[in-house]
Structures are given as C-alpha cells and as structure tokens.
Homo-oligomer: A and B are copies of this chain.
Amino acid sequence: MTSQESEASRVGQVLAQLSSSGHRITNPRRHIVTALVQAGGHLTAEEVATAVQRRDPSVHLATVYRTLDALERAGVIIHIHLGHGRAIYHLADSSHYHLYCQQCGSVREIPQSEVDDLFALIGRAYDFEPSLGHFAIIGTCGRCIDRRGSKGNRSRGTSPESIA
C-alpha cells in the first residue's frame, strides 16, 4: 500500500465516522479531513485553512472552525492548547501528551502512559484529577536550554525563573 493509498483510506475512514455520527459529507469537509490526515501531526485552525485553500480558495476559515468542531464531537480529532495562543488539532488515533517549548514553539509528543503515574501521585496527594490531555505541558526544550546556556549562561534549573 503506497502512502497515498493509506492516506486516502484514512480520509475515508474519518469521513465515514463523521457521516455515521449524523453529519453530511461536503467538499470543504473532504478537504479539511485530507489536510489533517496529510499533515500527520498537529495543525492550527489557520494552518488547516491555508492547506485547504490551496485546493479550494473559497473555503472560509469559519467553516474550518465549524468542521473541526464537528470532527471533534464525532470523536475523530482532538484539540489541545499550547498555553497562551491558539489551539492545535490532530487525529485522535494516538493517546499522547504534548511538550510545548515556549522559546522555539516546537511541540513534542510523549506517550500518555509514561507520565500518568506521576500525575496520579498529584491526584492522590491533592484529591485532584489532572487532565493533561487537553493542555500542553509548557516549558523549554533541551535544544533551547542548551542555546540559552551557551549564550548568557543564565541561572536556570532549580531557580524559580519559571515566571515568563
């Protein structure tokens, strides 16, 4: 199976799910799902719109938002927040958390299982059930830490500098 074939079938699957949850299949929706599948990763609504508009410039950003919403309610995609700004969307096929670097904007995935134990501890200690899925873990990635260290060599690490 070539990558185009598997992409096409994935698009079909997603559209089928959308359809079976009571929604109609339209041209804008086909393009939006295709963009999501082809990206393979995380896209902002605006990035989805840009990709879609390369194929059909008439598709409006508002339609993208509405479709992303419909896809999410149908359970095929998920959106998460990277701190301040926009949300990013991805297919709901793998359960992972996100590490978002405030410096360089990179997003990395970490498998859910690896962190759940840690957060379960917080939950037990504070009678609180953290939901890390919906918000990224904000911080600084290793590359940016290195870059910072080689330059000004600023006090970081244990010091309470996390106020940005």
Task: Give the residue name and chain of the B residue nearest to A118 (CB).
Answer: B118
The residue that A129 contacts in the complex, of B78, B114, B125, B145, with Cβ under 8 A, is B145
Question: What number of copies of this chain does the assembly contain?
Answer: 2
* Interface of chain A, main secondary structure: mixed
Task: State in angstroms the CA–CA spacing of A84 and B129 once bound together.
Answer: 18
Among A101, A121, A127, the most chain B Cβ lie within 10 Å of the Cβ of: A127
Q: Which 3 A-B pairs have the closest CB atoms?
A: A127-B142, A131-B162, A133-B162
Listed in ascending order, the chain A residues whose CB lies under 8 Å from chain B are: 78, 81, 83-84, 92, 95, 99, 101-102, 108, 110, 112, 114-115, 118-119, 121-123, 125-135, 137-142, 145, 156-157, 160, 162-164
